[in-house]
Amino acid sequence: MTPTLPPAIELLDLLPDAVCVVDADGRFLYVSASFERILGYSREEILGRQTFDLVHPDDRAATRQAAGEVMAGALQRHFRNRYVHRDGHSVDIQWSARWHPGYGVRVAIGREITELRQAERELEHRASHDPLTGLPNRHRLHAELRQAIQRPASDGAGLAVLYVDLDGFKAANDRGGHDVGDRVLVDVAARLLKGVRQHDLVARIGGDEFVVLLRGCRNIHAARTVAEALRARLQPPFQLPDGPITLDASIGIACHPHDGGTAEALLSHADREMFAIKHRRPRDARGAGRASSRAG
Protein backbone atom coordinates (compact mmCIF):
# COMPACT_ATOMS: atom_id res chain seq x y z
CA MET A 1 0.00 0.00 0.00
CA THR A 2 1.40 3.37 -1.03
CA PRO A 3 1.74 5.71 1.99
CA THR A 4 -0.22 8.95 1.92
CA LEU A 5 2.04 11.95 1.62
CA PRO A 6 1.43 15.08 3.73
CA PRO A 7 0.08 18.10 1.88
CA ALA A 8 2.75 20.28 0.24
CA ILE A 9 1.72 23.19 2.44
CA GLU A 10 2.82 21.23 5.51
CA LEU A 11 6.14 20.43 3.90
CA LEU A 12 6.79 24.13 3.40
CA ASP A 13 6.59 24.61 7.17
CA LEU A 14 9.60 22.34 7.56
CA LEU A 15 11.85 24.59 5.52
CA PRO A 16 14.35 26.76 7.43
CA ASP A 17 13.74 29.60 4.94
CA ALA A 18 10.57 31.69 4.84
CA VAL A 19 8.18 31.02 1.94
CA CYS A 20 5.79 33.83 1.01
CA VAL A 21 3.02 34.19 -1.54
CA VAL A 22 1.75 37.70 -2.34
CA ASP A 23 -0.82 39.01 -4.77
CA ALA A 24 -0.35 41.61 -7.52
CA ASP A 25 -0.90 44.41 -5.00
CA GLY A 26 1.83 43.07 -2.74
CA ARG A 27 -0.43 41.68 -0.01
CA PHE A 28 0.51 38.51 1.83
CA LEU A 29 -1.64 35.51 0.88
CA TYR A 30 0.53 32.91 2.60
CA VAL A 31 3.63 32.72 4.80
CA SER A 32 5.36 29.60 6.06
CA ALA A 33 6.20 28.83 9.69
CA SER A 34 9.76 30.13 9.31
CA PHE A 35 8.41 33.59 8.55
CA GLU A 36 7.31 33.87 12.18
CA ARG A 37 10.63 32.48 13.37
CA ILE A 38 12.60 35.01 11.33
CA LEU A 39 10.42 38.11 11.72
CA GLY A 40 8.29 37.42 14.80
CA TYR A 41 4.87 37.85 13.14
CA SER A 42 2.29 35.08 13.27
CA ARG A 43 0.28 34.17 10.20
CA GLU A 44 -2.79 35.80 11.69
CA GLU A 45 -0.92 39.09 12.07
CA ILE A 46 0.58 39.08 8.60
CA LEU A 47 -1.97 37.75 6.10
CA GLY A 48 -3.58 40.55 4.12
CA ARG A 49 -0.90 43.10 5.04
CA GLN A 50 1.26 44.91 2.52
CA THR A 51 4.73 43.42 2.16
CA PHE A 52 6.30 46.87 1.82
CA ASP A 53 4.96 47.88 5.23
CA LEU A 54 7.42 45.45 6.78
CA VAL A 55 10.40 46.45 4.64
CA HIS A 56 12.94 48.80 6.20
CA PRO A 57 12.11 52.36 5.03
CA ASP A 58 15.55 52.81 3.47
CA ASP A 59 15.07 49.67 1.34
CA ARG A 60 11.49 50.17 0.15
CA ALA A 61 12.31 51.92 -3.13
CA ALA A 62 14.76 49.20 -4.20
CA THR A 63 12.32 46.49 -3.08
CA ARG A 64 9.47 47.98 -5.12
CA GLN A 65 11.73 48.15 -8.15
CA ALA A 66 12.79 44.52 -7.72
CA ALA A 67 9.16 43.42 -7.30
CA GLY A 68 8.23 45.24 -10.51
CA GLU A 69 11.02 43.50 -12.39
CA VAL A 70 9.83 40.11 -11.13
CA MET A 71 6.24 40.84 -12.19
CA ALA A 72 7.59 41.86 -15.61
CA GLY A 73 8.97 38.35 -16.04
CA ALA A 74 12.45 38.48 -14.52
CA LEU A 75 13.54 35.67 -12.24
CA GLN A 76 14.89 37.29 -9.11
CA ARG A 77 17.79 35.60 -7.36
CA HIS A 78 19.80 36.78 -4.37
CA PHE A 79 18.03 40.12 -3.86
CA ARG A 80 18.88 41.53 -0.45
CA ASN A 81 16.92 43.90 1.73
CA ARG A 82 16.05 44.51 5.36
CA TYR A 83 12.76 43.79 7.04
CA VAL A 84 11.68 45.18 10.39
CA HIS A 85 11.20 42.48 13.03
CA ARG A 86 8.07 42.58 15.18
CA ASP A 87 10.16 43.86 18.10
CA GLY A 88 11.65 46.66 16.00
CA HIS A 89 15.15 45.55 15.01
CA SER A 90 16.29 45.08 11.41
CA VAL A 91 16.67 41.66 9.81
CA ASP A 92 18.75 41.15 6.65
CA ILE A 93 17.10 38.78 4.19
CA GLN A 94 18.14 37.38 0.82
CA TRP A 95 15.25 36.62 -1.53
CA SER A 96 14.59 34.53 -4.60
CA ALA A 97 11.26 35.25 -6.30
CA ARG A 98 9.17 34.45 -9.35
CA TRP A 99 5.91 35.84 -10.74
CA HIS A 100 3.23 33.32 -11.75
CA PRO A 101 0.91 35.20 -14.13
CA GLY A 102 -1.53 32.32 -14.42
CA TYR A 103 -2.29 32.60 -10.71
CA GLY A 104 -1.58 36.30 -10.31
CA VAL A 105 0.82 35.71 -7.44
CA ARG A 106 4.47 36.27 -6.62
CA VAL A 107 6.21 33.42 -4.78
CA ALA A 108 9.34 34.25 -2.82
CA ILE A 109 11.76 32.37 -0.58
CA GLY A 110 13.68 34.39 1.97
CA ARG A 111 16.77 33.38 3.93
CA GLU A 112 17.93 35.33 6.95
CA ILE A 113 21.50 36.57 6.42
CA THR A 114 21.87 39.02 9.32
CA GLU A 115 25.03 37.36 10.65
CA LEU A 116 26.46 37.08 7.13
CA ARG A 117 25.85 40.78 6.44
CA GLN A 118 27.46 41.70 9.76
CA ALA A 119 30.54 39.69 8.84
CA GLU A 120 30.60 41.28 5.38
CA ARG A 121 30.33 44.77 6.87
CA GLU A 122 33.20 44.03 9.23
CA LEU A 123 35.35 42.84 6.32
CA GLU A 124 34.37 45.89 4.27
CA HIS A 125 35.31 48.15 7.18
CA ARG A 126 38.67 46.44 7.61
CA ALA A 127 39.38 46.76 3.91
CA SER A 128 38.62 50.49 3.88
CA HIS A 129 39.91 51.67 7.28
CA ASP A 130 43.24 51.99 9.03
CA PRO A 131 43.38 49.34 11.79
CA LEU A 132 45.35 51.59 14.19
CA THR A 133 43.37 54.84 14.14
CA GLY A 134 40.07 53.63 12.70
CA LEU A 135 40.27 56.38 10.07
CA PRO A 136 39.52 55.71 6.39
CA ASN A 137 42.56 54.39 4.57
CA ARG A 138 44.08 55.37 1.21
CA HIS A 139 41.66 53.15 -0.74
CA ARG A 140 38.60 54.67 0.94
CA LEU A 141 40.00 58.20 0.54
CA HIS A 142 40.39 57.77 -3.21
CA ALA A 143 36.83 56.44 -3.51
CA GLU A 144 35.38 59.30 -1.43
CA LEU A 145 37.40 61.90 -3.30
CA ARG A 146 36.33 60.59 -6.70
CA GLN A 147 32.72 60.60 -5.57
CA ALA A 148 33.01 64.16 -4.26
CA ILE A 149 34.50 65.33 -7.57
CA GLN A 150 31.76 63.66 -9.60
CA ARG A 151 28.93 64.98 -7.46
CA PRO A 152 27.79 68.32 -8.86
CA ALA A 153 27.78 71.15 -6.33
CA SER A 154 24.49 72.93 -6.92
CA ASP A 155 25.42 75.74 -4.55
CA GLY A 156 28.77 76.35 -6.22
CA ALA A 157 30.71 75.22 -3.15
CA GLY A 158 34.17 73.88 -3.81
CA LEU A 159 36.33 71.02 -2.63
CA ALA A 160 39.75 71.07 -0.99
CA VAL A 161 42.34 68.49 0.02
CA LEU A 162 44.82 68.97 2.87
CA TYR A 163 47.91 66.75 2.87
CA VAL A 164 49.20 66.57 6.46
CA ASP A 165 52.69 65.28 7.29
CA LEU A 166 53.89 65.32 10.92
CA ASP A 167 57.17 67.06 11.73
CA GLY A 168 59.19 65.51 14.53
CA PHE A 169 57.26 62.26 14.79
CA LYS A 170 60.38 60.11 14.42
CA ALA A 171 61.51 61.30 17.86
CA ALA A 172 58.42 59.71 19.44
CA ASN A 173 59.37 56.33 18.01
CA ASP A 174 63.02 56.80 18.95
CA ARG A 175 62.15 57.68 22.55
CA GLY A 176 59.41 55.18 23.27
CA GLY A 177 59.34 52.61 20.51
CA HIS A 178 56.59 51.89 18.01
CA ASP A 179 53.94 51.28 20.69
CA VAL A 180 54.40 54.83 21.97
CA GLY A 181 54.48 56.14 18.41
CA ASP A 182 51.21 54.34 17.70
CA ARG A 183 49.56 56.02 20.69
CA VAL A 184 50.71 59.40 19.39
CA LEU A 185 49.20 58.65 15.97
CA VAL A 186 45.89 57.72 17.60
CA ASP A 187 45.96 61.04 19.48
CA VAL A 188 46.81 62.90 16.26
CA ALA A 189 43.82 61.27 14.53
CA ALA A 190 41.52 62.33 17.38
CA ARG A 191 42.76 65.92 17.26
CA LEU A 192 42.28 66.12 13.50
CA LEU A 193 38.74 64.75 13.74
CA LYS A 194 37.83 67.36 16.35
CA GLY A 195 39.03 70.08 14.02
CA VAL A 196 36.81 69.32 11.02
CA ARG A 197 33.09 69.29 10.31
CA GLN A 198 31.01 66.12 10.46
CA HIS A 199 30.72 65.81 6.68
CA ASP A 200 34.47 66.26 6.11
CA LEU A 201 36.77 63.24 5.98
CA VAL A 202 40.07 62.51 7.71
CA ALA A 203 42.12 59.61 6.36
CA ARG A 204 45.44 58.06 7.35
CA ILE A 205 47.28 57.07 4.21
CA GLY A 206 50.42 55.63 5.79
CA GLY A 207 53.07 56.29 8.42
CA ASP A 208 52.60 59.79 9.83
CA GLU A 209 50.73 61.10 6.78
CA PHE A 210 47.07 62.10 6.87
CA VAL A 211 44.73 63.64 4.30
CA VAL A 212 41.73 65.81 5.11
CA LEU A 213 38.95 66.09 2.53
CA LEU A 214 37.03 69.35 2.95
CA ARG A 215 33.67 69.15 1.22
CA GLY A 216 32.06 72.47 0.37
CA CYS A 217 35.26 74.42 0.95
CA ARG A 218 34.75 77.78 -0.80
CA ASN A 219 38.31 78.70 -1.80
CA ILE A 220 42.01 78.50 -0.98
CA HIS A 221 41.62 81.07 1.80
CA ALA A 222 39.03 78.96 3.60
CA ALA A 223 41.23 75.89 3.16
CA ARG A 224 44.23 77.73 4.63
CA THR A 225 42.17 78.79 7.61
CA VAL A 226 41.27 75.15 8.33
CA ALA A 227 44.87 74.04 7.75
CA GLU A 228 46.23 76.56 10.24
CA ALA A 229 43.58 75.58 12.78
CA LEU A 230 44.50 71.91 12.41
CA ARG A 231 48.19 72.71 12.72
CA ALA A 232 47.46 74.62 15.94
CA ARG A 233 45.58 71.60 17.30
CA LEU A 234 48.61 69.39 16.74
CA GLN A 235 51.13 71.68 18.44
CA PRO A 236 50.22 71.17 22.15
CA PRO A 237 52.59 68.57 23.67
CA PHE A 238 51.88 64.86 23.43
CA GLN A 239 52.60 62.93 26.62
CA LEU A 240 55.18 60.14 26.36
CA PRO A 241 56.27 57.85 29.22
CA ASP A 242 59.52 59.81 29.60
CA GLY A 243 57.91 63.24 29.24
CA PRO A 244 56.13 65.42 26.70
CA ILE A 245 57.01 65.80 23.04
CA THR A 246 55.99 68.63 20.74
CA LEU A 247 55.15 68.01 17.09
CA ASP A 248 54.34 70.27 14.20
CA ALA A 249 52.78 69.58 10.81
CA SER A 250 53.47 70.55 7.22
CA ILE A 251 50.16 70.87 5.38
CA GLY A 252 49.85 71.10 1.61
CA ILE A 253 46.61 72.30 0.01
CA ALA A 254 44.92 71.53 -3.29
CA CYS A 255 41.57 72.96 -4.41
CA HIS A 256 39.25 71.52 -7.03
CA PRO A 257 39.14 72.23 -9.91
CA HIS A 258 41.93 74.84 -9.91
CA ASP A 259 44.68 72.45 -8.79
CA GLY A 260 43.41 69.29 -10.47
CA GLY A 261 40.32 67.63 -11.89
CA THR A 262 40.95 64.11 -10.60
CA ALA A 263 41.60 62.54 -7.21
CA GLU A 264 45.13 61.62 -8.25
CA ALA A 265 45.91 65.13 -9.51
CA LEU A 266 44.60 66.80 -6.35
CA LEU A 267 46.52 64.50 -4.03
CA SER A 268 49.69 64.89 -6.09
CA HIS A 269 49.41 68.69 -5.97
CA ALA A 270 48.75 68.75 -2.22
CA ASP A 271 51.66 66.35 -1.67
CA ARG A 272 54.03 68.62 -3.60
CA GLU A 273 52.82 71.64 -1.65
CA MET A 274 53.37 69.80 1.63
CA PHE A 275 56.87 68.73 0.56
CA ALA A 276 57.79 72.31 -0.36
CA ILE A 277 56.53 73.65 2.98
CA LYS A 278 58.38 70.96 4.93
CA HIS A 279 61.72 71.73 3.28
CA ARG A 280 61.23 75.49 3.37
CA ARG A 281 60.33 75.73 7.05
CA PRO A 282 63.83 75.17 8.56
CA ARG A 283 65.29 77.92 6.32
CA ASP A 284 62.48 80.24 7.35
CA ALA A 285 63.20 79.58 11.00
CA ARG A 286 66.93 80.28 10.57
CA GLY A 287 66.15 83.43 8.66
CA ALA A 288 63.82 84.67 11.39
CA GLY A 289 66.49 84.00 14.00
CA ARG A 290 69.06 86.06 12.15
CA ALA A 291 66.62 88.92 11.67
CA SER A 292 65.80 88.90 15.37
CA SER A 293 69.51 88.98 16.25
CA ARG A 294 70.14 92.00 14.03
CA ALA A 295 67.14 93.79 15.45
CA GLY A 296 68.52 93.26 18.97
Catalytic residue annotation: 208
Measured distance CA(223)–CA(65) in Å, rounded = 42
Closest CA to 82 of 94, 67, 66, 99: 94
Measured distance CA(20)–CA(105) in Å, rounded = 10
